[in-house]
Amino acid sequence: MKALVYHGPGAKSWEQVADPAIQDPTDCIVRVETTTICGTDLHILKGDVAAVTDGRILGHEGVGTVTEVGAAVTNFSVGDRVIISCVTSCGTCSYCRRGLTSHCQTVGGIGWILGHLINGTQAEYVRIPYANSSLYHLPEGVTDEQGLFISDILPTGYEIGVRDGGVRPGDVVAVVGAGPVGLAAMMTAGLHGASRIIALDLDDNRLEAARRDFGATHAVNSGDADWAEQVKALTDGLGVDVAIEAVGVPSTFAAALALVRPGGQVANVGVHGKAVELPLHEKWIDNIRISMGLVNAVTGDMLLRMVAEGKLPAEKLATHRFTLDQIDQAYDVFGHAARHGALKVVMTAG
Ligand SMILES: [Zn+2]
Ligand SMILES: [Zn+2]
């Protein structure tokens, strides 16, 4: 088969590799029909994720058809259309049993293994360990593209941003960063009754999309000199109840911290590549909480129902489409997303 193989920082190629095979009775093989690129893949290509080594097939999102099942797979059969979760969970270790599947201890001590510790989904076929608890059936009425965003983006924005951020009815929420994950947080903040959802970004096109399609009620360009005052003017003057950081650089974390009101919460969703500053000498007195983490993807079934009922416009995240063998072009567009007006790029099997 063909796959997108990582060859060290800055190097990748779409090349011929061996087909994946069942290794354990809990494995499935899935033919990948729709996949995408995550900001995390760009971090990997920069060399930020040391665990990804030369020869690894990238990708942790996808929709496809089961082509082979191991003897212990009971929930899925050959021919089933499935969504691949970005988190692989055994379902039985102590972390999985308490819903913290992101720390499933069975394969490498972390739930995110696809395109990280084992070969991923930017390929014609992928092996999915612990298939019983790591795939979803693609429901009738949900398109491949809608399902694709259940792999990672929607659960990440919702679980780590909105849910773990403690958004409650009436809250004013700021989301710093209107990329795909930030938009997913905006899209799902309404599920918890946020009264105002303020989008922040440097890119006016993304801010416009945030307001038009993804539930933001207000938008502030964080390049404006008075961006913080503009946001605070949309509250009672004290700041937002929950500030969601959805970029992963020191300045956006600092922005989230600057916007949160006393008693509020900063929810960090971004994947950081270097240390951030935490001015505890100023903030200790504010009774704020800071949360962070890797998605567990345990809300995928709920989010799928909301998508199926038309309550979450997941499909609007897809802006550019390619075939799998055009993946280099897709990386180029996603890597220069602002220039191309790109949110998520979608690749489909030819
Ligand atoms: Zn991802
Ligand atoms: Zn587990």
Nearest ligand to the CA atom of 84: 1
Nearest ligand to the CA atom of 103: 2
* DSSP secondary structure of 282-301: HHGGG--EEEE-----TTHH
Question: Distance, CA 60 to ligand 1 centroid (Å)?
Answer: 6
pLDDT at 97 over 90: yes
Question: Distance, CA 156 to ligand 1 centroid (Å)?
Answer: 8
Task: Give the pLDDT confidence of 101-130 residue by residue, as tens digits.
Answer: 999 999 889 999 999 999 999 999 999 999
pLDDT at 251 over 90: yes
Question: Distance, CA 122 to ligand 1 centroid (Å)?
Answer: 12
Question: Distance, CA 97 to ligand 2 centroid (Å)?
Answer: 7
Question: Distance, CA 325 to ligand 2 centroid (Å)?
Answer: 34
Q: How far is CA 128 from CA 264, 288, 300, 331, in A?
A: 39, 40, 17, 24
Question: Distance, CA 111 to ligand 2 centroid (Å)?
Answer: 8
Q: Radius of gyration (Cα) for the chain, nearest Å?
A: 20
pLDDT given for residue 107 in this prediction? 85
Mean model confidence pLDDT for the chain: 97
pLDDT at 148 over 90: yes
Task: Give the pLDDT confidence of 26-65 residue by residue, as tens digits.
Answer: 999 999 999 999 999 998 999 989 999 999 999 999 999 9
Task: Give the pLDDT confidence of 67-81 residue by residue, as tens digits.
Answer: 999 999 999 999 999
Question: Distance, CA 115 to ligand 2 centroid (Å)?
Answer: 18
Q: pTM for this structure?
A: 0.96
Question: Distance, CA 75 to ligand 2 centroid (Å)?
Answer: 17
Question: Distance, CA 315 to ligand 1 centroid (Å)?
Answer: 17
Question: Distance, CA 105 to ligand 2 centroid (Å)?
Answer: 5
Q: Strands (DSSP E) along 17-146, which ranges?
A: 28-36, 62-69, 81-84, 125-128, 135-137
Query: Are 180 and 153 within 8 A, CB to CB?
Result: yes
Question: Distance, CA 116 to ligand 1 centroid (Å)?
Answer: 11
Question: Distance, CA 86 to ligand 1 centroid (Å)?
Answer: 7
Task: Give the pLDDT confidence of 291-343 residue by residue, as tens digits.
Answer: 999 999 999 999 999 999 999 999 999 999 999 999 999 999 999 998 999 99
Q: Which two tokens mark 211?
A: 């307001």
Nearest ligand to the CA atom of 129: 2
pLDDT at 273 over 90: no
Q: What are phi and psi of 138, to 5 degrees?
A: -80, 115
Q: Which two tokens mark 216?
A: 């933001």
Question: Distance, CA 163 to ligand 2 centroid (Å)?
Answer: 22
